[in-house]
Amino acid sequence: MNNKKLMLKLCPVALSVAMATQAQAGITLYDQDGTSFSADGHFNAFFTATDNEATGEKQQRVRMGFLPNYIGFNVSKQAGDLTVGGRSSFWVSINDGHTTPTNSGIDVRQFYATVDGDFGQVLFGKDFGLYARSNIFSDELLLGTGLPSLDSGIVTLGNISVGYPYAQPRAQITYRTKPMNGFQIAAGILDPSSGESADSNTNNSARVEAEVTYATDFEGGKFNAWVGGAAGENDASDIDASGLAYGARVAFGGFQLTASGYDQEGIDTTFAGNTLTAETESDGYLVQGSYSVDGHRFVLSHGQTDLNGSEKEMDSVAYFYDVNSNLKLIVEYDMVDSAGDETDQIAVGASLSW
């Protein structure tokens, strides 16, 4: 896989999460006779200046941030006691390839159907993974830049590999309960990262993932927490993979504090869906605080990952300003230390969502 496609696939999150962060809903295009169809989307661009102190490499670019640009479509229909629906989302690079000047690329992150009823929900198709899903969806830098990537033709990387692995989209069949006293359970069978290989169907067993979430309101604030797990095998090398991801967030009086972490074996620190060929141990955490007032949001962030005793960490400070309910202006500064290799980045940009 070339570097451009790799970086586009690294970009982390579902459209619904970005829209929730923006406090926006999609535009309803049709709503009659129990059937609705809507569209939502996101655009962003940043000027970034990056300095790698170890190599002396410096870059100034206009590029996407942590999220690519995308458009999504949603459909829902009442069918007796069931509600059937689906979602498709298309993620687009604004940065062309190094050798092909108009090769922007389109990536389909979501293409799934849902069936809802008194029993809960069944989802089948392609969607983001369950393991470490809430870790990445709760990142305060979701609409910013995060980890600099000097060799990337596409996105920056948020806190991927310095706080959490990326719950990349995969084919799956997932069941979710209805919320019960604030609790909700999701469990799914997901296609292994290898799919077909030279030895068809022998590399990996299907991945099993699950997540339990809890949400409640209290006077003047909100609290939510989550814990998720993953288990799989690499049959070719007889490797068992397992992981535990967790976190909590509390919001009160304009302040918001978020802490999350993970501990895993045989799972890649970048792609949460990848089962390794060795039972390599890794763990990491992300701690963030923010304060919001009158359309202004200030964020402090620290993330760290330990892979076999080698540490990689990033400290970030960011400012977000809501020009209106759709448009944000963003300034961010990131400092990365990877085994003594230091990289600094400043980013100034804007995001527009509906």
Region at 19 (left for phi over 0; alpha for psi -120 to 50; beta for the rest): alpha
Tens digit of each residue's pLDDT (9 = 90 or more) over 11-23 = 333 334 443 333 3
- C-alpha distances in angstroms, 71 versus 40, 68, 108, 350? 6, 10, 10, 17
Residues in the chain: 354
Question: Which residues of the chain are modeled with pLDDT < 70?
Answer: 1-25, 96-105, 150-154, 194-204, 236
Q: Got the DSSP string for 38-54?
A: EEEEEEEEEEEEEEETT
**CATH classification of 3-353, choosing from 3.40.449.10, 3.40.50.720, 2.40.160.10, 2.40.50.140?**
2.40.160.10
Estimate to the nearest angstrom the gap between the alpha carbon of 61 and the chain centroid. 23
Report d(CA 119, CA 100) in Å as an integer: 50
Residue-wise pLDDT tens digits, 67-96: 889 999 999 999 999 999 999 999 888 886
Rg (CA), the chain: 20
Per-residue confidence (pLDDT) for residue 145, from 0 to 100: 94
- For 217-228, give the DSSP string: EETTEEEEEEEE
Quote the distance between the C-alpha of residue 180 and its chain's center: 25
The DSSP string of 105-169 is -EEEEEEEEEEEETTEEEEEEEEE-STTHHHHHT-TTTTS-BS--TT-SS---BTBTTTB-B--E
Helix (H) or strand (E) holding 21: helix 15-22
Phi, psi of 36 (to 5 degrees): -130, 150
Domain ranges of the chain: 3-353
Contacts 24+ apart (CB under 8 A), 179-186: 179/215, 182/214, 182/215, 182/216, 183/212, 183/213, 183/214, 184/212, 184/213, 184/214, 185/210, 185/211, 185/212, 186/130, 186/210, 186/211, 186/212, 186/213
